[in-house]
Amino acid sequence: MESRRERLVVIGGVAAGMSAASASKRIRPEMEVLLLEKSPFISYGVCSIPYYISDEIKDYHDLIAVTPEAAQNERGVFVRTLHEATAILPDTKEVLVRCHDKKKDERTTFDKLVIATGAVPIKPPFPGVDLKHIFALRTLEDGVLIKKYIDDWEGRQAGAEADESLRVRSALVERQDRLRAVIVGGGYIGLEMCESLRKRGLDVTLVEKMDRVLGTMDQSVTDFVEETLKREGIKLFKETSVLGFEGSGGTVSEVLTGQGKFQADFVILAVGVRPESTLAEAAGIALGVNKAITVDEHMRTSLPAIFAAGDCADALSIVTGKKVYIPLGTTANKQGRVAGENAAGRETVFEGVAGTAQTKVFDLEVARTGLTSLEAERERIPHFVSTIQGRSRAKGYPAGKPITITYVVEEDTGRLLGAQMVGQEGVAHRIDTLATALYARMTVEDVARLDLGYAPPFATVWDPILIAANVALKKMDRR
Amino acid sequence: MESRRERLVVIGGVAAGMSAASASKRIRPEMEVLLLEKSPFISYGVCSIPYYISDEIKDYHDLIAVTPEAAQNERGVFVRTLHEATAILPDTKEVLVRCHDKKKDERTTFDKLVIATGAVPIKPPFPGVDLKHIFALRTLEDGVLIKKYIDDWEGRQAGAEADESLRVRSALVERQDRLRAVIVGGGYIGLEMCESLRKRGLDVTLVEKMDRVLGTMDQSVTDFVEETLKREGIKLFKETSVLGFEGSGGTVSEVLTGQGKFQADFVILAVGVRPESTLAEAAGIALGVNKAITVDEHMRTSLPAIFAAGDCADALSIVTGKKVYIPLGTTANKQGRVAGENAAGRETVFEGVAGTAQTKVFDLEVARTGLTSLEAERERIPHFVSTIQGRSRAKGYPAGKPITITYVVEEDTGRLLGAQMVGQEGVAHRIDTLATALYARMTVEDVARLDLGYAPPFATVWDPILIAANVALKKMDRR
């Protein structure tokens, strides 16, 4: 009797799922690896979608790292797109699968399972939230839909203008010459979409519930971002709650808020995501913080032979040592790889996250790592905040820009808990130095001693990172 | 009887000296601080001089951080420029001083002394090395001289061209239309001057004794730099020894090398520097590696009450734990501060150097930290080298550039010993992440686990730093 090959099933094929599938094959080529993805696409860069909509990236195929064919031919991973897992049966080690193309249900067995179902956009129960042209932005399909919507409108405009030259100006052109977008939520995606849609020439309104954009970041940073948004023509409404949506003919036309009504041809709802853990929960797998799937350092769930990775799973904070839910593509890729390696029998470890994130908002670079002051407060860690303004280039060297750096420092020990930065250049990569300092549990005194590089086009002789550390040290002396 | 104020004398007023003077006053304002500088200038950015010569920085005053007046008025430091210390008398705690302006000698007493005499360019005993228009590039005066030489030549050219329009073309213009520079030495200064002089439109020949530019750096990096030099029109001669200089009327006209003669209107000799430790040595202060002044972690020399800092002093390598001589502005500023603090009675520490350095060579960023392979070999540390090519931006995002990263890794432990990088963007600040990893004595496994930032305009989802670490890890597995 021929022995059946051991089979790994991976549910979800974007970042964590594809990483898990590839890693397991790399380690144990003899293992059978089956990847199930409910959408038509696998292995794409979610973070690049705003740049596809802005048309900086013309073709969505450029967002795709590995096609199903390449996964199969080059990595030996069997990929089934349009195959949605609908249930996990841990006792019989089976997954129920709906095949959207063949419109039928199947079941498949597994020896090992990796759940990489990702996250789903939060959709608050606002009246009218299901009207047409209220978009989420999470999947490549969302991106394609939004871009097509804008392209189509532009196409109609061009058509109307051509007509107009024949003196048959349409009612549509009479009424407006710009597509009006309302973005709800001033987090990373909301801000990136502000830039993206302005680049397309749209009229953009940003509605944010809190007193600042970028949630918990320090005001020393968010003030710069808000200035830039306004300078770039974004209509920014802070401390503004959405009450609902109104429409005509089933299509959204107005956003109702505490600050009044905003006309909208379409809406992007970007108020955050939640882990897609419903399948896991139904199978009896333990959930933790934010209802994410609880995993150990090997990405094992509470059930044997079942792993989870990416935006559906939690992670350890290397700063607090506690479980957190910080869904990011970088983490998804790393966790996916560790899940795949462990599923294939190699005991590797995912250490945890610092919570490092960065974004570009028009000409600004914004970045953070570790805890913000608000987060340190929630954790009841006695701390102080220290902010400096440095410069990106040496005195005299042309075109230097200001860089603002905020450190969150533990009160008695001087340990760095987190850092935030904003500036027009030299921010995005500088945050990595501080993420590395967090990994090594450095104090601001350690940071002040770092031997960082210097050349006039790239830094000041005391790098802004060092100046910030020295200023924080002085603050400690005075306390 | 009134008690005399305690007096700190600082010899040398550029980076380390000015830092020491300022730091001591900050800590003990009641201390009298006297700074002696033999040149007319203090507190200027040596590293910015090439950008002054290229005319990107128009005015040399923009290179000066603190003027003598500001040092006195804002920091309470008495500054004496054109005052050269000619001897240190440790027994009587005196310094002999030649006042170049008044052309007389003085002596001054000290309670504490900081020696910050810097480094001097190495001037090999080539025949003809003292001919006119053979320049060193070390001090602001050197920079002013070189720029004036080029400006004057251009002025004469413009005059000749004006004459020519009157049909009196001069013999000079007949003979050449470009000033010809020969740069001897392909280190940081040599390369920066290549760019600087090309920007001024000069004909530039670079002569390098070794088989590559940038000395001990890995060929995976230096190949890129050499390609760029050639593309930018630099005539590069490697493995080429200078034999001497020939001149006419006391002015250099030819550089004699093993590869033939090169015509030269002027020469920049950039073959390295040596610590200016002659004063210290004459006073009986112990010298160490490279004849630099030996200092402890408080920047104390072998004699009581005498400190040294900056390019005249040695430092501890945080990688090998041994003394090294790596003269850099960043280190000079840090050591100066620590020397000043300790002279003022606060026991602070200078931890050591990683040897982090970066430079811009035309459109390339080049950076290094820690040991090169050659240096690890000299230290007899069993190691291997791993090189990868990554990209500066996400797939699909416009204008991404290749980044080459080389890691030097300790054989059995996997400890990162050093890193080198080259690329058109995203190099200069990425090296700081690895300098931080060296400070924390990380292995490449640690580096692979770092939670670095990601956004499509700034990085790939696996940052090149992480890819390089993962590739190095795989190499370890295979050994």
pLDDT of A167: 54
In the three-class reduction of DSSP (H, G, I as helix; E, B as strand; rest coil), residue B179 is classed as: coil
> Which residue of chain A comes nearest to B188, CA vs CA?
A455
Contact A330 B461 (CB under 8 A): yes
Which chain B residues have a beta carbon less than 8 Å from that of A62? 395-396
pLDDT of B173: 45
In the three-class reduction of DSSP (H, G, I as helix; E, B as strand; rest coil), residue B372 is classed as: coil
The pLDDT tens digits of the residues spanning A432-472 come to 999 999 999 999 999 999 999 999 999 999 999 999 999 99
> What is the spatial distance between Cα B432 and Cα B95, in angstroms, rounded to a whole number?
40
User: How far is B23 from chain A, CA to nearest CA, in Å?
Assistant: 12
Q: Do domains A7-121+274-343 and A357-478 have the same CATH topology?
A: yes
User: How far is A59 from chain B, CA to nearest CA, in Å?
Assistant: 8
Which chain B residues have a beta carbon less than 8 Å from that of A315? none
Which chain A residues have a beta carbon less than 8 Å from that of B471? none
pLDDT band at B34 (very low <50, low <70, confident <90, very high): very high
CA distances from A291 to A117, A311, A314, A325, B428 (A): 13, 11, 9, 9, 41
The pLDDT tens digits of the residues spanning B206-227 come to 999 999 999 889 999 999 999 9
Contact B436 A431 (CB under 8 A): no
At residue A133, φ and ψ (nearest 5 deg) are 70, 20
DSSP A267-312: EEE-S-EEE--HHHHHTT--B-GGGPBP--TT-B-SSTTEEE-GGG
Q: For residue B171, is pLDDT > 80?
A: no
User: How far is A176 from chain B, CA to nearest CA, in Å?
Assistant: 32
DSSP B129-170: TTSBTEE---SHHHHHHHHHHHHHHHHHHHHHHHHHHTT---
Placement of tokens 């690895």 in the chain: B434
Contact B328 A454 (CB under 8 A): yes
Q: Any bridge partners for residue B121, and if so which?
A: B273
Q: For residue A28, is pLDDT > 60?
A: yes
Q: For residue A174, is pLDDT > 90?
A: no
Q: How open is the CA angle A192-A197-A198, to the nearest 5 degrees?
A: 100
Q: What percent of chain B has pLDDT over 70?
A: 97
DSSP B458-479: T--SS-HHHHHHHHHHHHHHH-
Q: For residue B169, is pLDDT > 90?
A: no
Q: Which is more confident, A177 or A459?
A: A459
> What is the spatial distance between Cα B78 and Cα B42, in angstroms, rounded to a whole number?
12
pLDDT band at B3 (very low <50, low <70, confident <90, very high): low
Q: What percent of chain A has pLDDT over 90?
A: 92
pLDDT band at A177 (very low <50, low <70, confident <90, very high): confident
At residue A101, φ and ψ (nearest 5 deg) are -75, -45
Q: For residue A1, is pLDDT > 50?
A: no
Q: For residue B441, is pLDDT > 80?
A: yes
> Which residue of chain B comes nearest to A62, CA vs CA?
B396
- Confirm or reject CATH 3.30.1370.10 for domain A7-121+274-343, answering yes or no: no
Q: DSSP letter at B289?
A: G
DSSP B167-217: T---HHHHH-SS-EEEEE--SHHHHHHHHHHHHTT-EEEEE-SSSSSSTTS
At residue A45, φ and ψ (nearest 5 deg) are -90, 95
pLDDT of A59: 96
pLDDT of A4: 80
pLDDT of B164: 67
User: How far is A281 from chain B, CA to nearest CA, in Å?
Assistant: 28
User: How far is A213 from chain B, CA to nearest CA, in Å?
Assistant: 18
Beta carbons within 8 Å of A161's beta carbon, 6+ residues apart: A173
- Which residue, B104, B213, B208, B200, is CA-closest to B147? B200
Contact B45 A395 (CB under 8 A): yes
DSSP A137-180: --SHHHHHHHHHHHHHHHHHHHHHHHHHTTT---HHHHH-SS-E
pLDDT of A162: 75
Mean pLDDT, residues A398-425: 97
Which chain A residues have a beta carbon less than 8 Å from that of B438? 451
User: How far is B169 from chain A, CA to nearest CA, in Å?
Assistant: 38
Indicate if ipTM > 0.90: yes
A47 catalytically annotated: yes
pLDDT band at B477 (very low <50, low <70, confident <90, very high): confident
Contact B356 A456 (CB under 8 A): no
Which chain B residues have a beta carbon less than 8 Å from that of A432? 429-430, 432-433, 450, 452-453, 463, 465
Q: What's the token pair of residue A478?
A: 């005075």
Q: Which of B334, B397, B452 is facing A330, going by the closest CB pair?
A: B452
Write the single-letter amino acid at B64: I
Q: What's the token pair of residue A193?
A: 């979409």
Mean pLDDT, residues B333-339: 98
Contact B454 A358 (CB under 8 A): yes
Mean pLDDT, residues A262-273: 98
> What is the spatial distance between Cα B326 and Cα B343, in angstroms, rounded to a whole number?
23
Contact B395 A62 (CB under 8 A): yes
Contact B436 A437 (CB under 8 A): yes
Contact A451 B369 (CB under 8 A): yes
Mean pLDDT, residues B109-117: 98
**Burial code of B312-324, b = ≥16 C-beta within 10 A, e = fewer?**
bbbbbbbbbeebb
Q: Where are the domains positioned within chain A?
A: 7-121+274-343, 134-147+178-271, 357-478
Strands (E), B271-363: 273-275, 306-308, 315-316, 323-324, 357-361
> What is the spatial distance between Cα B418 and Cα B368, in angstroms, rounded to a whole number?
7
Instruction: Specify the pairing of strand B416-423 against strand B364-370.
Output: antiparallel
pLDDT of A165: 64
The pLDDT tens digits of the residues spanning A320-369 come to 999 999 999 999 999 999 999 999 999 999 999 999 999 999 999 999 99
The H or E element that residue B374 is part of is helix B373-378
pLDDT of B1: 45
pLDDT of A173: 45
> What is the spatial distance between Cα A185 and Cα A193, in angstroms, rounded to a whole number?
10
Contact A440 B435 (CB under 8 A): no
Q: What's the token pair of residue B298?
A: 């408080």
The H or E element that residue B88 is part of is strand B83-89
Q: What's the token pair of residue A111?
A: 């020896």
> What is the spatial distance between Cα B86 and Cα A321, in angstroms, rounded to a whole number?
59
Which chain B residues have a beta carbon less than 8 Å from that of A453? 330, 356-358, 367, 369, 428-429, 431-432, 435
The pLDDT tens digits of the residues spanning A217-264 come to 999 999 999 999 999 999 999 999 999 999 999 999 999 999 999 999
Q: Which CATH number fits domain B134-139+177-271: 3.20.20.105, 3.40.1530.20, 3.30.428.10, 3.50.50.60?
A: 3.50.50.60
Instruction: Specify the pairing of strand A94-99 against strand A104-109.
Output: antiparallel
Neighbours of A296 (CB within 10 A): 13
pLDDT band at A103 (very low <50, low <70, confident <90, very high): confident
Write the single-letter amino acid at A20: A
Which chain A residues have a beta carbon less than 8 Å from that of B329? 454, 461
> How many helices and strands (H and E) does chain A possess?
13, 25
At residue B192, φ and ψ (nearest 5 deg) are -65, -35
> Which residue of chain B comes nearest to A315, CA vs CA?
B451
pLDDT band at B400 (very low <50, low <70, confident <90, very high): very high
Q: Any bridge partners for residue A75, and if so which?
A: none
Q: How open is the CA angle B300-B333-B303, to the nearest 5 degrees?
A: 15
Which chain B residues have a beta carbon less than 8 Å from that of A15? 461
Contact A435 B429 (CB under 8 A): no
Q: For residue B166, is pLDDT > 70?
A: no
User: How far is A82 from chain B, CA to nearest CA, in Å?
Assistant: 25
Which chain A residues have a beta carbon less than 8 Å from that of B353? 451
pLDDT band at A159 (very low <50, low <70, confident <90, very high): confident
The H or E element that residue B371 is part of is none
Which ranges of B272-346 does DSSP label H, i.e. alpha helix? 278-282, 329-343
Q: Which of A365, A449, A461 is facing B45, going by the closest CB pair?
A: A461
Mean pLDDT, residues B222-250: 97
> Which residue of chain A comes nearest to B363, CA vs CA?
A457
pLDDT of B159: 83
At residue B230, φ and ψ (nearest 5 deg) are -65, -45
Neighbours of B148 (CB within 10 A): 11
pLDDT of A3: 63
Q: Which of A51, A365, A451 is facing B356, going by the closest CB pair?
A: A451
> What is the spatial distance between Cα A467 and Cα A461, in angstroms, rounded to a whole number?
10
> Which residue of chain B comes nearest to A456, CA vs CA?
B48
What is the Cβ-side half-sphere exposure of residue A118, based on CA atoms within 13 angstroms?
24
Question: Is there a contact between A358 and B455 (Cβ–Cβ < 8 Å)?
Answer: yes
Question: Is there a contact between A163 and A243 (Cβ–Cβ < 8 Å)?
Answer: no
Q: For residue B170, is pLDDT > 60?
A: no
- Confirm or reject CATH 3.20.20.20 for domain A357-478, answering yes or no: no
Q: Any bridge partners for residue B266, and if so which?
A: B181
Q: For residue B2, is pLDDT > 70?
A: no
Report the side by side order of strands in the sheet with A357-361: A357-361, A364-370, A416-423, A402-410, A383-391
Q: What's the token pair of residue B214?
A: 């940038």
Q: Any bridge partners for residue B365, and if so which?
A: B360, B423
> Which residue of chain B comes nearest to A467, CA vs CA?
B334
- CA gyration radius for chain B? 24
pLDDT band at B172 (very low <50, low <70, confident <90, very high): very low
pLDDT band at A387 (very low <50, low <70, confident <90, very high): very high
> What is the spatial distance between Cα B275 and Cα B122, in angstroms, rounded to a whole number?
10
Mean pLDDT, residues B112-133: 98
CA distances from A397 to B49, B51, B265 (A): 10, 7, 28
Q: Which of B351, B356, B452 is facing A452, going by the closest CB pair?
A: B356
Among B47, B99, B194, B312, which one carries the catalytic annotation? B47
The pLDDT tens digits of the residues spanning B7-22 come to 999 999 999 999 999 9
| Dihedral Cα B256, B258, B261, B263, nearest 10 deg | -70
Q: Which of B22, B334, B432, B474 to substitute to test the interface with A, most A CBs within 10 Å? A: B432
- Confirm or reject CATH 3.50.50.60 for domain A134-147+178-271, answering yes or no: yes
CA of residue B308 relative to chain centroid, distance: 18
